[in-house]
Amino acid sequence: MKPVFDKDDKADEVSEVTFAAPLPENTSFTIEVPRDLKDNVGRPLANAGAFPLKVATGDTPPLAKFAAAPFGIVEAE
C-alpha cells in the first residue's frame, strides 16, 4: 500500500501520513522509513532500529446499526 500525504505538506517536511481505508483485515504489513529520517530540527528517530517494522491488521469489528432517530453506529471491540 502506498501512503497518502497531506497536500499542504512541503516536499521536505511531512506532518501526517494516512492510508486509504479500509485496510484489508488479517493482513501483514511492513512499515519502512528512510534510514536518515529526522524530525524538523534534525534529530534522528529514537526508535530507528525498530524499522522496518512488522505490523498486522485484525478482524474487522462488528457493527451495530440503529435505524431509528437519532441514527448511530456502534463499533464493538
Examine the pLDDT at 44 and tell me if it is beyond 70.
yes
Examine the pLDDT at 63 and tell me if it is beyond 80.
no
pLDDT at position 26 is 94
Examine the pLDDT at 37 and tell me if it is beyond 80.
yes
Q: How many domains does the chain have?
A: 1
Mean pLDDT, range 2-28, rounded to an integer: 82
User: Which pTM value belongs to this model?
Assistant: 0.64
Distances (CA, A) of 33 to 8, 19, 60, 64, 73: 20, 15, 27, 37, 35
The residue that leads in pLDDT, 14 or 36, is 36
The residue that leads in pLDDT, 64 or 2, is 2
For 72, the domain range is: 1-77
